[in-house]
Amino acid sequence: MIKTSRALVLGALVSAIVACITFIGGVAVALRWGSELPLVATLAPPPAARATPASAADDFKVFWEVWQLVDQQFYHKEPLDYKKMTYGAITGMLKSLGDDYTGFDEPANAAQRQERLSGQFEGIGAYVEYKDGKLLIVSPIEESPAEKAGILAGDQVLKVDGKELPPELDDVDPNEAASKAAGIIRGPKGSTVTLTIFRATTNETHDIAIVRDAIPLISVRAKMVKGNVGYIQVSEFKETTTAELDQALTTVLEEKPAGIILDLRNNPGGYLHTAREMLGRFLPDGIALKEEFSDGSITDLSITNDGNPTRALEVPMVVLTNAGSASASEIVAGALRDHKRATLVGEKTYGKGSVQVIKELSDKSSARITIARWLTPSGAEIHQKGIEPDIYVPFLQEEQYRVELPQRRPIDPANVDDSQLWWAIQVLTSGEQPAFPTPTVTATAGEAMAPAPTPTSSPTP
């Protein structure tokens, strides 16, 4: 879950930065919450670090001994890359804290993270993945230049503006390769890029010219399903999510629905303020969450009620959750449960109960620092525990759970086999509940929770 911050960390000399960041020492590869979104806070920029803290003098002495050994005696023919060494030290320091959500992003990754959270980017509008040495289109984004130009899911990108993809993409992690390839295709609004694609379904190769444009990353989709139930799916909590939700609610409420299903399955989270705004669409007021800090102090954060008329305060409501519902998704689900506003249906949530602040540094890199734990309005701790649903329903793709869906576009599915959605509709329309046995899982002592999954496809800006 992220609190917004645009403060810059100014004034630190490179040597001082290196000294400060290695206080806890070590060089390691930081975890990427990646396209998975943490929860960030608004904080003033910290004072620039210009001197070694007295309390850490002995630790820094050892660090500088090693730095000087490398600088003076390490065998090399090319100049040492001090920036790479500095970034490695930063990464190692943050990794040594033992927190999966505290980490460091170099400038390029920091820009991509911010771009995604903004809810819009400029490019062709498609998701790509790098698999088995091939750059593949996962899907074009709805109404994007890529879709309008005829790009289809499964197309293989062979060349970009007549140039083959660099062979070094085969030597890096598939996620990194997809990100680098997306960077090659990206470009400003109004510019043109020509992709040479191979389409396996027709065994043909095409050159497709695409004019780049501003691409909204849609995070809210709404449909009316059987029983006159409004179905609202939220995929992430971005800057644009609240406006999208207002539009979706307006459409749904015009139908005078018998109930609303808020689908937060596989939603990795996002901005804290967006979660609070979402709660303000379904609750009149009250506490959204509590934040607990290192000194033991606890702060109540309220639901954001901005006076927007698009509110559904009385319509019966179900929230769908699963193990991919994390961070800001859990804040919304936990608050709606604690305020007895909605019934949770599905599976236990992921269990990310920490709050991060993202600080942009002087060279446009950024640091993500966990600053607090959050609790539900009732004070429940969910970190590494998750939130149990009120009604447990495993996800089953069986025909008996088929739900018809209205099609906006020819490529939209006409139906879906989804036991959780099917039972959510039953709960709202008939009150009927399933009788699936709730799974019991006993964690072993010292068992650590794995980081949330990172999507394998990258947006092609």
Residue 352: active-site member: yes
Calculated CA dihedral for residues 405, 409, 412, 413, nearest 10 degrees: 50
Specify the long-range contacts of residues 107-112, CB closer than 8 Å, at least 24 apart: 107/363, 107/364, 107/365, 108/183, 109/32, 109/179, 110/360, 110/364, 110/365, 110/366, 111/364, 112/179
Q: Whole-prediction pTM value?
A: 0.76
Domain boundaries, the chain: 2-116, 120-216, 220-429
Residue matched to tokens 């990646």:
34
- The active-site residue out of 95, 290, 352, 359 is 352
What are phi and psi for residue 374, nearest 5 degrees? -115, 150
Q: Which entry of 112, 179, 356, 457 is annotated as an active-site residue?
A: 356
Residues 85, 82: Cα–Cα separation, whole Å: 5
Question: Does residue 390 contact residue 37 with C-beta atoms inside 8 Å?
Answer: no
CA distances from 344 to 225, 330, 365, 427 (A): 18, 11, 39, 10
Per the residue annotation, which of 5, 35, 327, 458 is the catalytic one? 327
The token duo for 446 is: 């010292």
Give the three-state DSSP class for 423: helix
Rounded to whole angstroms, the Cα distance separating 322 from 395 reads 9
Q: What is the pLDDT of residues 302-316, one digit of tens each?
A: 999 887 778 999 999
Q: What are phi and psi of 230, to 5 degrees?
A: -85, 125
* CATH number, domain 220-429: 3.90.226.10
From CA 250, how far away is CA 222, in angstroms rounded?
10
Residue 289 makes CB contacts below 8 A (sequence gap 6+) with 301, 331, 334, 335, 374, 375, 376, 377
Q: Which residues contact 35 (CB under 8 A, 6 or more apart)?
A: 116, 268, 454, 455, 458
**pLDDT at res. 155:** 94
Question: Could you list the pLDDT tens digit for every one of the 461 residues in the chain?
Answer: 776 543 333 333 233 333 333 332 332 222 223 334 445 444 334 445 567 778 888 888 898 899 999 999 999 999 999 999 999 999 999 999 999 899 999 988 888 777 777 766 789 988 888 988 899 998 888 788 999 999 998 999 999 999 999 888 888 888 788 888 888 998 899 999 999 999 999 999 999 999 999 887 789 999 999 999 999 999 999 999 999 999 999 999 999 999 999 999 999 999 999 999 999 999 999 999 999 999 999 999 999 988 777 899 999 999 999 999 999 999 999 999 999 999 999 999 999 999 998 899 999 999 999 999 999 999 999 999 999 999 999 999 999 999 999 887 766 789 999 999 999 999 999 999 998 988 876 443 333 333 343 333 334 44
H or E element: which one contains 3? strand 2-3
Cα separation, 141 vs 160, in Å, equals 19
**What's residue 178's pLDDT?**
87
User: What's the pLDDT score for residue 171?
Assistant: 83
pLDDT at 132: 87
CA atoms within 13 A on the CB side of 316: 15
Write the pLDDT tens digit of every residue in 118-175. 766 789 988 888 988 899 998 888 788 999 999 998 999 999 999 999 888 888 888 7
Rg from Cα positions in the chain: 24
Residue 438, classed as helix, strand or coil, is coil
Residue 372: closest CA among 295, 302, 304:
295
Contact yes or no for 252/222 (Cβ under 8 A): yes
Q: CB under 8 Å to 187, separation ≥6 — which residues? A: 122, 123, 193, 212, 461
- Catalytic residue list contains 356: yes
pLDDT at residue number 442: 47
**Can you list the pairs that 63-68 forms with residues at least 24 positions away whose Cβ atoms lie under 8 Å?**
63/18, 63/19, 63/22, 63/25, 64/19, 67/18
Q: Is 397 a catalytic residue?
A: no
| Torsion from C-alpha of 226, 408, 235, 416, nearest 10 degrees | 50
For the 120-216 domain, the top CATH level (class) is: mainly beta
Q: Provide the strand spans (E) within 27-77.
A: none
Task: Collect contacts of 159-167 with beta carbons under 8 A, ≥24 apart.
Answer: 159/195, 159/196, 160/184, 160/185, 160/193, 160/194, 160/195, 160/196, 161/193, 161/194, 162/194, 162/196, 165/135
Task: List pLDDT tens digits, range 265-278.
Answer: 999 999 999 999 99
Q: Does residue 357 contact residue 398 with C-beta atoms inside 8 Å?
A: no
